[in-house]
Amino acid sequence: MAHPSQLGFQDAASPVMEELLHFHDHALMIVLLISTLVLYIIVAMVSTKLTNKYILDSQEIEIVWTVLPAVILILIALPSLRLLYLMDEINDPHLTIKAMGHQWYWSYEYTDYEDLGFDSYMVPTQDLVPGQFRLLETDHRMVVPVESPIRVLVSAEDVLHSWAVPSLGVKMDAVPGRLNQTAFIASRPGVFYGQCSEICGANHSFMPIVVEAVPLEHFEKWSTMMLEDA
C-alpha cells in the first residue's frame, strides 16, 4: 500500500515485483555513477585553466568512451530482457480469472468454477467504514489463494481500460474485442490495491481494483460460500 510522500515503489508482494525492484535499483545505480562522472568532468573543466595535451588527441580515450557506453548498455539490457521473458511466463496456472472492464467498474469471472462471478464497484465515500481507503475500496474483492500461479484474462466491454496492481507487478491493457493475459503469484497474504491505468472516461479514477490473497483453505471456504449465494 502506498503512503503519503512515498518516493520508492510499494513493497513487493510477488516474485516478479521483487525482480522489478532489483532491476530498478541496478539501473538506478548505473545512472548515479554516470551522473557523478559527468558532473565531476564538468566541474573539473570549468574550475581549471590547465589543458592536458594527451586528451586533445588520443586514440586510447576515444576507444574507451566508445566501448564503455556499449558495455553499460549490455549490463542494462541483459537483465531487462530476462525480466521481460519472466513476466510473460505462464506455466500451469492453478486458477484462471477473467477480468472485464466496464464504464466504470470491473467484473470478475472465475472460469474454473461453473457459476462464480461478480461485479466490483467502488465503495462511495459516505459508505466507507473506519480503516477503508477512499477511492480504493470495492464492495467485492478479487480473492486469490497465496503462493499459487494465477492467470488473469483481461478484456473490456466498451472502451480501453487497464488492469493494474503495482505491488503484484501486474499491468495489462483491457481492449474491447481482444483477450490479453497476464499472471502473478501472491507471495504473502494481504490486500493489494490498484486502479484502472488507462484514461477511460469521466469516472476513470473511480474504478479501483482490490486483490485479497488468502491461504488456500480460506479461499476454498470463500468460493463455496459464493457458490451457495449465487
- pLDDT, residue 176, reads 95
Distance between CA atoms of 179 and 170, rounded to whole angstroms?
Answer: 16
Is the CB of residue 213 less than 8 Å from the CB of residue 144? yes
- Fold classification of 15-88 (topology level): Helix Hairpins (1.10.287)
Q: 79: Cβ–Cβ under 8 A, 6 or more apart, which residues?
A: 23, 26
Region 194-219: what's the mean pLDDT? 94
Is the CB of residue 165 less than 8 Å from the CB of residue 136? no
Question: What's the pLDDT tens digit per position in 62-85?
Answer: 898 899 999 999 999 999 999 999
- pLDDT, residue 90, reads 86
Helix 59-88 and helix 15-47, axial crossing angle in degrees, nearest 10: 160
Domain assignments of the chain as residue spans, ordered by start: 15-88, 95-229
- pLDDT, residue 230, reads 66
Domain 95-229 of CATH type 3.60.130.10: no
**Phi and psi angles of residue 123, each rounded to the nearest 5 degrees, phi first:** -80, 120
- pLDDT, residue 115, reads 87
| Global confidence as pTM | 0.85
Region 122-146: what's the mean pLDDT? 93
Region 97-110: what's the mean pLDDT? 95
Candidates 188, 152, 151; CA nearest to 12 is 188
